[in-house]
Amino acid sequence: MTISAIIGGQWGDEGKGKIVDLLSKDTKIVARYQGGANAGHTVYHGDLKVVLHQIPSGILRSGCHCILGNGMVVDPIGLIEEIEMVESHGFDTTGQIHVAMNAHIVTPVHKAVDVATEAANNNRIGTTGRGIGPTYVDKYDRVGIRGIDLLDANRLREKLAAKLESAIQSGHLPQDAKDQLKEQFKTFMDCATRVALLVSDTFALIHEFAERGENILIEGAQGTLLDVDHGTYPFVTSSSASSAGISTGLGLPTTKVEKIIGLLKAYTTRVGTGPFPTELFDDDGQKLRDLGQEYGATTGRPRRCGWFDGVAGLYSARVNGLTDVALTKLDILDHFEEINVCVAYKVDGKEIKNMSEVLHRLENVEPIYESQKGWMSTTTGIEKFEELPQAAQDYISYLEGLMRTRISIISTGPGRDEILLR
């Protein structure tokens, strides 16, 4: 039996869907522990491309239980849409999706507050507008609506009305929000009734499977640098995206997790605002965006692109306790004669290698690069490490040295088979 976790090692969008899908092959449970519909995990099934936001990426494997853990914020409207989308492709999800009783519920009020707050603040954080922050605020303010609350429709309707009233009273939403949200409330109540049937004690389920010795995969969302504690605060999401969130978000202690696999792109991207030391504003940046099709899976926003940041890579390995790294999108670098890697930051004339030291003023650092030779040939579909071009092997070994972690999985294309295991 193995309990493994896949964690975004950068600012999210590292290609988790594909790796989770691959590793879920012999897995009985895939569980998410934080975040919600802000995630966009792309999974390919043959030629079929499926983008999942809330359902764990094991859903395309028949018999795989998918848990939406208590640390998540679950949007019933989005979840029902997603289930319908998956089923429209011929997958039967019956009995496969389990929502934690104590997961918090995103309502139309939370989404409206998220959008209104961002608009009022000139899009300060660049959130996905999925109601994530406001739902976590309610959770920690101890006034949240939880999975278990979906089971009593009358009570739920009352709670929803009270939530709307309080958002209007506090000035988060305008007086006419009642009219504006009327239709959405109806849809929410319909979807909530259906999601209620999926609510269960996921804590017991995950522990039963663990005690039976089954393989379990934990699917992170977003990335370590978006973690509310360890990320580039305040430009972060509102949950614990790093491995630390597993214990609270599933009730599964991290001592049970044998493998913590960090997913990092062979370069770096970020969506939304916030500091990004290796960001490129030149032709190379545009080339990474075009070749890597770097447009958000959830919002469609163009992603900011830059070179691999080895300082951030080491920080991420330390925060998460990574046992392995899965390096994704290596093939995008097939087209660069020269590849830069950030090995340190320069700030106030000093060279810094500890990200934690400058996390609060990352916008002031200047990346110090070391240049690596490109390989200028295709890596897509190569199955053995030794068969990669020498310069690509050297690049990978170089990143391993910076992160002090073994890169044991290398993705060389979007397809299920375009992957190399070491």
Binding site for ligand IMP (CB under 6 A): 11-13, 38-40, 125-128, 130, 132-133, 221-222, 226, 235, 237-238, 271-272
Dihedral sign of CA atoms 413, 416, 417, 422 in order: positive
Minimum distance, C-beta of residue 132 to ligand IMP, in the bound complex (Å) = 4
What letter does residue 71 receive in the DSSP assignment? Answer: T
Q: Considering the candidates 21, 26, 41, 417, report the single residue annotated as catalytic.
A: 41
Concerning whether 13 is annotated as a catalytic residue, the answer is: yes
CA nearest 107: which of 143, 71, 55, 56? 143
Under DSSP, is residue 309 helix (H, G, I), strand (E, B) or coil?
strand
Which CB atom, from 70 or from 128, has the smaller least distance to ligand IMP?
A: 128
- Reply yes or no on whether 41 is catalytic: yes
Check if the beta carbon of residue 4 is closer than 8 Å to that of residue 218.
yes
Instruction: Please state the closest distance from residue 302 (CB atom) to ligand IMP, in A.
Output: 12
Nearer Cβ to ligand IMP, position 11 or 345? 11
Give the CB-nearest residue to ligand IMP: 272
| Between 57 and 128, CB nearer to ligand IMP | 128
Minimum Å gap between C-beta 296 and ligand IMP is: 7
| Cα 401 to Cα 69: distance, rounded to the nearest angstrom | 35
Cβ nearer to ligand IMP, comparing 28 with 304: 304
β-pairing, 73-74 vs 366-373, is: unpaired
Residue with tokens 């988060």: 172
**CA 355-360-361 angle, 5° bins:** 90
Helix axes 108-120, 153-169, angle to 10 degrees: 20
What separation in angstroms does the CA of 32 have from each of 97, 209, 270, 312? 11, 15, 21, 24
Q: How far is the CB of 16 from ligand IMP (least distance, A)?
A: 9
Q: How far, in whole angstroms, is CA 66 from its chain's centroid?
A: 16
- Beta bridge partner(s), residue 43: 50
Residue closer to ligand IMP (CB basis): 132 or 402: 132
Least distance from C-beta 226 to ligand IMP, angstroms? 5
Q: Catalytic positions, please?
A: 13, 41
